Amino acid sequence: MQKKLVVLFIIVLLAFVGLTARLILINKENGEKYKKQVLSQQEYDSRTIPFRRGDILDSKGTKLAVSEKVYNVILDAKVMLDDEKSVEPTIAAVQSKLGIDGSVIRQRLASHPESSYYILKKQMTYEEISGFKELEADKEQGANIKGIWFEEEYKRKYPNNTLACDAIGFTTSDNQGLYGLEEYYNDVLSGTPGREYGYLNGDAALERTTIAAVDGNSIVTTIDANIQSIVEKYLKKFNDEYKNNYLERNGSNNTGCIIMDVNTGEILAMASYPVFDLNNTKNSEDLIGMPMVDELGNKTGEYITAENLASMEGTNQLDQNFNALWRNFCINDTYEPGSVAKPFTVAAGIDSGSITGNETYTCNGFLEVGDYKIKCHNTYGDGPLTVAQGVERSCNVVMMYVNMATGKDTYIDYQHIFNFGLKTNIDLAGESRTASLVYDKSTIGPTELATNSFGQGFNATMIQMITGFCSLINGGNYYEPHMVSKIISPSGATVQNIEPRILKQTISESTSEIIKEDCNLVVSGENGTGKTARPAGYMIGGKTGTAETLPRGNNEYVVSFMGYAPADNPQIAIYVVVDRPNVAYQDDAKYATRIVRNILTEVLPYKGIFMTEELTDAEREELEALQIEIMTPVASGTAEEGTQEEGTEGAVSENDAATGETGGDAEVQDEEEETYTEVWKTFPIDPETGYAVDPDTGELVDPETGHSITGDDSTPAGRANVNGAGSTDSTQDNNNPF
């Protein structure tokens, strides 16, 4: 028995020795081959599964941003070279079905034979790769196709190209949001990548474990794509009309428009010009005509042309100019608002009880405040005016009297109530901070109080102005402005409804009614400065604005109109700002009012808001030419169309950095104190410009209102940068707005 066991032991031992020798021999002769096979299995069977980024939809479900599955073509050189007879058939298939040059594959095989991952072509659609997949699946022809596989990922697409580009933003190559909604809601839109693991178990069988990707949620915006497209159409029309008109540049430095629901704070449209293509964000042709910025992002005073653009290629300066293009002017740039601030001045005075609103003040064309003579834009004087007439005619002197009656402490309190100097917290990336661009109680003096009354000397953003203005006309409710109404899951279920939020009460309902009456006069009044903003068949209210940029005397202005419709029951508010129109005489708000008129002519019927005014024959022909459906008039009477808007908002004879206390409440002027003659209406008309010419000074003035178009350029009317260093530009580019 012992001998048998010894023999058996020897036999087993010899078997193990033989097996070991065989394994050593196999490893020596074919080890590299089997190693490649194992490594290639690991490559294929352990991979990241990409998530799909959520969509961005407009309020009616139109897709503004989507994620489309695409495929990267991957070359696995090790697998292809493992079977030499598969090299040429595979290269031929790649060339014919995928359009990839075969020489690229041959070079890669020669230089990196051990490589398992090399991208031959990125982001091909399924239609583009389907031919190759069909060929590969064929049992005969596909048998020799090896070493090519497809890596799945998602590519962000914007079906409407430039539509709402500033508001939407875009994504980087690694699926991270930049600017706008893409950045602000990046965590909501982003999902979680999955993972598929491949491994050999104890029996050498391939096992797989898959953790599925979690797709991102989608957002439903408050934007109405139809209203947005109307707005962008007329901003482009303005640019086309005035591009290279006076200088070789765009129709303006920036032209912006916001349309907001007065009673919810929802943004129906937000746009500015110039625009860019969200599918091609680095098209340098979009930069031509813009103000140039240097390597630090500061304006140089030049404009981008095809010639100087070529010199910036490949430099940091070009990147900075793209950043300037991608910025959202409506929330990111600050400027002195000008006379659109006058309703806020009156509202503060009435709501605080400082004035009743029935006062009458006399405008002699200027007002002396301390040591400074601060001009009205009508240098000939408007004579005795009520507060309402001061808003209608946009009289600076009346506003200065109102602010003197209000006093600096109360005025600053209401500045904060109206949210000037604070963020609105709109749900968009990039809203500017303006705390350093407004005065406080310790820094404002009588001169600053005077110039602030007509919107110069402090800076604001478009979103601050229109949000506060909505509270003036909706009964005093300050709604938080917002761009998104709903978040939905990949399956379509509602994750979160975002309801309108009232943050505070700015003024009383009675004060709000007075402000509406005053702003209605701006459009409907005999001497209103905003008559050309009225669309045919409708009565609206609002306020024009112009503000001279820094340095004062440069004849460069920001002109604007902020209004609402209908006049008797405001539903939507609109704000258009034109930053330095490309004309010889910029100080004319009609460049903004005409844009407003065009936009509202289409938007109001679309919104189902009925006409209230009888149409003239000319208006009827105009609407028929635009193919706008004319609603049945429900009221008679035709509003008189104006031709010109307000001019220079005002100026002081020295830098208005003077300090000191306010001079107390203004005295009410006696309306019968003196009789004023509107002398400007007797001036001859310049046939070239259409403006009246003062025969004594040669100054151009508005023949309807007497507002100066080429007024005294010698004096600044406020500081753009209050607490910091002085700025040379009224529109501020905040490099770090967060």
* 47-221 shares its CATH topology with 329-656+711-731: no
**19/494 Cα distance (integer angstroms):** 65
- Burial (0-12, 13-18, 19+ Cβ within 10 Å), 181: buried
For the cut 80, the answer to whether the pLDDT of residue 698 exceeds it is no
**263/337 Cα distance (integer angstroms):** 23
**547/590 Cα distance (integer angstroms):** 14
Average pLDDT in the 102-109 region?
90
pLDDT tens across 491-540, in order? 999 999 999 999 999 999 999 999 999 999 999 999 999 999 999 999 99
* Cβ proximity of 618 and 626 under 8 Å: no
* Cβ proximity of 346 and 515 under 8 Å: yes
The architecture in CATH of the region 47-221 reads: Alpha-Beta Complex (3.90)
For the cut 80, the answer to whether the pLDDT of residue 696 exceeds it is no
For the cut 80, the answer to whether the pLDDT of residue 705 exceeds it is no
Residue 639: what pLDDT? 36
**713/734 Cα distance (integer angstroms):** 27
Among 35-49, 138-152, 213-227, 700-714, the range of highest mean pLDDT: 213-227
Residue 300: what pLDDT? 92
Q: What percent of the chain has pLDDT over 70?
A: 84
Cβ density class 432-468: b for 16+ within 10 Å, e for less: bebeebbbeeeebbbbbbbbbbbbbbbbbbbbbbbbb
Residue 500: what pLDDT? 96
**365/381 Cα distance (integer angstroms):** 4
Map out the domains of the chain as residue ranges.
47-221, 329-656+711-731
pLDDT tens across 202-238, in order? 555 556 788 889 999 999 999 999 999 999 999 999 9
Comparing 221-225, 239-243, 268-272, 711-715, the range with the smallest average pLDDT is 711-715
Cβ density class 343-357: b for 16+ within 10 Å, e for less: bbbbbbbbbbebbeb
pLDDT tens across 112-122, in order? 888 888 999 99
Mean residue pLDDT across the chain: 85
Residue 37: what pLDDT? 56
- Paired sense of beta strands 218-221 and 56-57, if any: parallel
**482/498 Cα distance (integer angstroms):** 9
**412/416 Cα distance (integer angstroms):** 6
In the block, tokens 């602000």 appear at: 184
CATH number for region 329-656+711-731: 3.40.710.10
Nearest-10 Cα torsion for 397, 415, 564, 499? 180
- Amino acid letter at 374? I
Among 72-81, 379-388, 410-419, 618-627, the range of highest mean pLDDT: 410-419
For the cut 60, the answer to whether the pLDDT of residue 721 exceeds it is no
151's enclosing H/E stretch is: strand 148-157
Q: What percent of the chain has pLDDT over 90?
A: 64
Measuring CA to CA, which residue among 93, 161, 152, 160 is closest to residue 123?
152
> Dihedral of CA 11/13/14/15: which sign?
positive
For the cut 80, the answer to whether the pLDDT of residue 260 exceeds it is yes
